[in-house]
């Protein structure tokens, strides 16, 4: 079974990955995607002069490299210290994801920001962050201790897929809007759908299982992140409209947009954790099932 040190290290990797998401959002929000025209070097150097958009673009690459190294260590540590075969595979899967993310990042530069590649890069970043959060959950003492199972009579197990599914859809629509592949309307409609699904799941969990700690805690995390995300989305839109005539991205717009992306990452990751907890603890009406 995983050690406390491994769990703390997994938390560190997840925190650094969130910083990577923020760094990527700073690149997009500051329209600095092609500030460095070559890859993997920056103007043919390992460390160019960090001025203007180069600060955001090369800084993003530096954070990505750091996260890549941390993920290599995490995968090896899981392979050597965790006896669960599926956890070992998850560690190697996280490493494969960060490698793919680096390749997509390079392709965005080499092919001059193609929208499909840029959107895929943004979506994979969110999934990779969610994977590191899941690894942190799986290596935690709370996961080892567990909790009593409960019976599902109202379709809560379906919501275990619907909640992260709708939130990931919303993430993808947001990425498409930021990269100018879609208008704002689909993103707004996606937000409405995601909110309805999250509120439905919250109602079921908090009404039926208020004392079940894993379900309650994960659901409250999803609910808090989603409600915060709605506020940040409105603020980011208002800031974008107010600064539409500015010759370059203004700090007020950048701050709200980056915060919106970061909390969106937390919402998606917490929804995936919620889905995992439901699948572990909520039994189907007739056939028991649990992740161990």
Q: What is the largest CA-CA distance in the chain?
A: 64
Q: State the average pLDDT over residues 249-276.
A: 96
Of 169, 177, 217, which is closest to residue 195 (Cα–Cα)? 169
Q: How many residues does the chain have?
A: 292
CA–CA distance, 120 with 268 (Å, rounded to integer): 16
pLDDT band at residue 3 using 50, 70 and 90 as cut-offs? confident
**How many CB atoms within 10 Å of residue 216?**
16
Give helix then strand counts, H and E, for the chain.
9, 2
The mean predicted confidence, pLDDT, of the chain is 93
Is residue 251 within 8 A of residue 266, CB to CB? The reply is no
Of 90, 99, 83, 166, which is closest to residue 131 (Cα–Cα)? 90
Domains of the chain: 1-145 (no CATH), 147-292 (1.20.120)
Q: Which residues neighbour 126 within 8 Å (Cβ) at sequence distance 6 or greater?
A: 21, 168, 171, 264, 265, 268
Read off the pTM.
0.93
Q: Which pLDDT score is estimated for 289?
A: 46
Q: Which pLDDT score is estimated for 155?
A: 85
CA–CA distance, 198 with 119 (Å, rounded to integer): 24
Render pLDDT for 123-175 as a digit per residue (tens, 0 to 9): 999 999 999 999 999 999 999 998 999 988 778 999 999 999 999 999 999 99
């Amino acid at each position: 079974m995983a050690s406390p040190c491994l769990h703390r290290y997994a938390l560190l990797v997840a925190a650094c990955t969130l910083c990577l998401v923020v760094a990527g959002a700073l690149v997009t929000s500051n329209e600095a995607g092609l500030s460095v025209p070559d890859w993997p070097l920056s103007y043919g150097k390992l460390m160019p002069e960090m001025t203007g958009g180069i600060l955001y673009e090369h800084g993003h690459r530096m954070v990505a490299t750091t996260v890549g190294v941390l993920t290599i260590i995490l995968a090896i540590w899981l392979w050597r210290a965790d006896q669960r075969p599926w956890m070992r595979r998850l560690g190697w899967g996280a490493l494969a994801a960060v490698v793919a993310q680096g390749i997509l990042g390079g392709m965005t530069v080499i092919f001059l920001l193609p929208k499909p590649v840029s959107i895929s890069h943004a979506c994979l970043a969110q999934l990779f962050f969610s994977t590191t959060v899941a690894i942190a959950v799986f290596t935690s003492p709370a996961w080892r201790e567990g909790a009593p199972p409960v019976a599902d009579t109202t379709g809560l197990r379906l919501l275990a897929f619907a909640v992260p599914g709708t939130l990931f859809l919303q993430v993808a629509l947001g990425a498409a809007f930021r990269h100018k592949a879609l208008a704002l309307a689909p993103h707004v409609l996606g937000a409405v759908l995601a909110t309805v699904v999250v509120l439905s799941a919250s109602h079921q969990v908090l009404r039926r299982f208020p004392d079940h700690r894993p379900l309650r805690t994960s659901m409250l995390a999803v609910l808090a992140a989603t409600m915060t995300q709605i506020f940040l989305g409105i603020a980011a839109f208002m800031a974008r409209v107010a600064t539409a005539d500015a010759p370059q991205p203004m700090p007020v717009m950048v701050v709200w947009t980056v915060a919106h992306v970061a909390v969106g990452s937390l919402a998606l990751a917490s929804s995936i954790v919620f889905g995992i907890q439901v699948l572990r603890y909520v039994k189907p009406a007739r056939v028991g099932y649990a992740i161990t």
